[in-house]
Amino acid sequence: MISPVETHSVQLTPAAAAVVRQLLAERNLDESYALRLYIAGRTCSGWQYGMALDNHPTETDLVFECEGVKLLVDDQSIEYLNGATVDFIDDERGKGFLVDNPNSLPACSCESGSCGG
């Protein structure tokens, strides 16, 4: 098992950490599980994020601890997630996790043909 380190690279808000802890408890998952955060792709709207509860870190995963919750980020995704904050919202925008990422690039207009894929 890889030991978590305290970090400021990727942060969870208290609200997001509470939801993760609730999900772990509802599924009867032990402390070996972490929240895996990764870049799932990019669209014209920006980065697409993936999240999963995972207890199989790889040798190239970075393991963080924030608000009492372990986070796993693969070595490629961390380049794009460094400085990001994961929050949980329940308001007029909807209900779910929200990633505030300072590395997000401005959205482009596909109609102009400027998306480079």
Q: What is the pLDDT of residues 42-62, one digit of tens each?
A: 888 788 999 999 999 999 999
Q: What is the pLDDT of residues 80-101, one digit of tens each?
A: 999 999 999 999 989 999 999 9
pLDDT band at 114; cut points 50, 70, 90? very low
Mean pLDDT, residues 21-29 taken together: 97
Q: Any idea which of 4-18, 63-77, 100-114 has the lowest mean pLDDT?
A: 100-114
Which helix (H) or strand (E) segment is 54 a member of? strand 46-54
| Whether residue 72 has pLDDT greater than 50 | yes
CATH superfamily of 5-109: HesB-like domain (2.60.300.12)
pTM score above 0.85: no
Provide the b/e sequence for 1-17 (b: ≥16 CB within 10 Å): eeebeeeeebbbbebbb
Share of the chain above pLDDT 90, in %: 69
Q: 30 CB contacts (<8 Å, ≥6 apart)?
A: 55
Sequence ranges of the domains in the chain: 5-109
